[in-house]
Every structure is written in structure tokens, then in C-alpha cells.
Amino acid sequence: MKTRKSKTLRKVHVRTPGSKSKVAYKKRKPAKSKCSSCGETLKGVPRGRPYQLKKISKSKKRPERIYGGVLCSKCLKRKLIRGARKYE
Ligand SMILES: [Zn+2]
């Protein structure tokens, strides 16, 4: 385990079963997922460690549309319009 003075771990106040408040040290959340085209933070994509994401259903992990969880809505819209105009 890393030293408690370092900022590697985050401090969490936890209430114990004996009703006492204690400081626990937990691992930090991973970075927010970004759009692969513009780099904007993706909406509707949860942030958490694999054991936390395992508990939620697939439909809650990313938007249910094509390129959901990869591209943001603006970039997808632009991409679809560009694709449609290509075959006119
Ligand atoms: Zn984008």
C-alpha cells in the first residue's frame, strides 16, 4: 500500500458499525471518458473502477446509439451528415 501522506489515495470519512467516524483510504476514480474526435467529456458514461462498473447494466454504461461511448453527440451528427452527403 502507498503511504497515506501521498495523494495517490483519496481520503474517505467512513461511519463504523460502532457509530464512530474514521478516515479510510480508497483508490481514486479513473479519468472521465473523452470523445475520440474532439476530446470533449462524454455524457452518460459513468466513471468508476471495474468492480463498480460491473454492478451496473450495459445500457447504463454508455448511450445506446451508434458510436455511443466513443463519439460525442455533436461529432456523431456531423459524421452522419457527412456520410449521407457522400452518396448523393
Ligand atoms: Zn466530439
Assign 57 to helix, strand or coil: coil
Mean pLDDT of 18-30: 93
Q: How many domains does the chain have?
A: 1
Closest CA to 42 of 70, 83, 18: 70
Question: Residue 74: which H helix or E strand, with range?
Answer: helix 73-86
| Residue 42, in any domain of the structure | yes
Quote the ligand 1 centre to 87 CA distance (angstroms).
23
Sorting pLDDT into bands at 50, 70 and 90, what band is 86?
Answer: confident
Sorting pLDDT into bands at 50, 70 and 90, what band is 1?
Answer: low
Quote the ligand 1 centre to 55 CA distance (angstroms).
28
Residue 61: which domain range?
A: 30-86
| Amino acid identity, position 88 | E
In tens, the pLDDT along 44-82 reads: 999 999 999 999 999 999 999 999 999 999 999 999 999
| Residue 57, in any domain of the structure | yes
